A and B are shown apart, each in its own frame.
Chain A
Amino acid sequence: MRVARELPDGAVVNLGIGLPTLVSQFIPEGRQIIYHGENGILGYGPMAEEGEEDVDLTNAGGQFLKRVPGMAFSHSADAFDMIRGGHVDIAVLGALQVSERGDLANWMIPERGVGNIGGGMDLAVGARKVITAMEHTTREGRPKIVHRCTYPLTGQGCVKLIVTDLAVIDVTAEGLVLREVAPGWTAAEVQELTEARLMVARDVSEMRL
């Protein structure tokens, strides 16, 4: 919900699989976002209703889409030229870990031994701005915002903004800056659940949804 506020009118946006795909539901009326999918679709709209699925019309998460005016198809190489070539403004990606330098790990849990790189590494280097949309901690309560990622990296120093259920954090050259905290939480409580050190912005505010 909070991430939706970071997407300006007219932005070309790629939403990663999982939590990030939810972002599109919270775009205010009247704001037009151009959604990009790695599978070769630009300018897609809402999901198709059940029973109306068209197997030739999906986003990169395999979700079925409605036909909307202005959408366009390309092959996969063009879809990735758009990414690597710097034509995608914002990528919203899920994360297993983000480091205080903005390193992102989101493709493999080492214990599983197999992971999916997908388009993540290309988005990490190619999108003009990378936002992570993630739970603040693991299901077991362990921090996901860490000094150094221990999981295999997706990209180095690529994350610019971290949005979690508890906080909004800027990644700056000086380190992580806590901008907003969720209603009912304090900066100190958020720091408790964060391994990396957070600098609290002078104007830190309550997260507006």
Chain B
Amino acid sequence: MSTNKVCATFREAVADLFDGAVLMIGGFGGVGGMPHYLLLALREQGARDLTIISNTMGIASAMGFGTPKGVRPVDVSILVENGQVRKAITTFPTSPSPSRPTAFELAYRRGQVELETVPQGTLTERMRAAGAGIAAFYTPTGVGTVVEQGKEKRVFDGREYILECALKSDFALIRARQADTLGNLVYRGTSRNFAPIMAMAARVTIAEVDYIVQPGELDPEAVVTTGIFVKRIVKRPSHTGGYQGMGAL
């Protein structure tokens, strides 16, 4: 495990992201938990044919989900609009209202992208399985729905379950509040959501954080993601720190 994980720039942090990569993006959908600067750097870097694994596909920019008034959100839509996305594995491909579609929904309607819509708890568990070395698991979620199509079914204690397979990725872009230089991470509030699971499931996890401190400065009891799951950390510009306006650019 490298002990020097700090990248000087966002550009450097995403430099080796290759065409066709499978990429997890943290965040629930709103601006909290969204790795804005990594997304902006990736747009500039230009890797294409990406498979994106993310809870939502751009509902902050489409409908202001989890976004305070006056804040212009940056989300995965910037990659979709830049033609970098080939496929999404997601639970929320678009906004509930048909009148405010995500850029992804529009691309999907044009036949430019593929979509696999999955239940949220199945998405989390598939990623956790990948990170934990478990090949597959049986879950009751989705029985009797389109989700079960093509999957093995089995009865345990009189109840039907479907077999779901682990889901791993080449990279994960996540957001955390604070990191030490070893990559131990602390989150803030509901912005934790998918980040710890994605960090485990990706070969290379890159964390965008507000603060980087020296080993010993984080309370070891408070660490949520241990450094073993984090390859790179990069600090956000200081003007975005503080509780308010953390989503603003």
Contacts and interface: CB of A to CB of B under 8 A. Distances in A.
A73 to B, nearest CB: 6
A18 B68 contact: no
B96 to A, nearest CB: 6
B118 interface: yes
A117 B91 contact: yes
A101 B98 CA distance: 29
B119 A119 contact: yes
Report whether over half of chain A's contact residues are helix, strand or loop; otherwise say mixed.
loop
B189 A80 contact: no
A114 B145 contact: no
Contact of B144 (A18, A58, A155): A155
Nearest to B109: A113
Contacts of B28: 39, 58, 60, 62, 76
A154 B145 contact: yes
A204 interface: no
Nearest to A37: B190
B149 to A, nearest CB: 11
Contact of B196 (A38, A50, A75): A75
Interface in B182-218: 187-197
Contact of B66 (A62, A113, A154): A62
- Interface residues of A toward B: which range? 35 or more
Interface in B108-133: 108-109, 115, 117-122, 124-125, 127-128
A70 B65 CA distance: 25
Contacts of A116: 91-94, 96, 117
A77 B197 contact: yes
B246 interface: yes
Nearest to B119: A121
Contact of A50 (B69, B94, B128, B141): B69
A155 B105 CA distance: 24
B122 to A, nearest CB: 7
B188 A56 contact: yes
Interface of A: 17-18, 37-41, 50, 53-60, 62, 64, 73-77, 79-80, 83-84, 103, 109, 112-122, 124-126, 152-156
Given A54-B189, A152-B145, 17 more contacts: A38-B120, A38-B121, A53-B68, A54-B32, A55-B66, A58-B28, A73-B189, A75-B224, A80-B121, A80-B124, A113-B108, A114-B117, A118-B119, A125-B140, A125-B141, A153-B146, A156-B143
Interface of B: 28-33, 55, 59, 65-69, 71, 91-94, 96, 98, 101, 105, 108-109, 115, 117-122, 124-125, 127-128, 139-147, 187-197, 224, 243-247
20 contacts: A38-B121, A40-B193, A50-B69, A53-B68, A55-B71, A57-B32, A62-B65, A73-B187, A75-B192, A75-B224, A77-B128, A84-B121, A84-B139, A103-B144, A114-B109, A121-B119, A122-B119, A124-B141, A153-B144, A153-B145
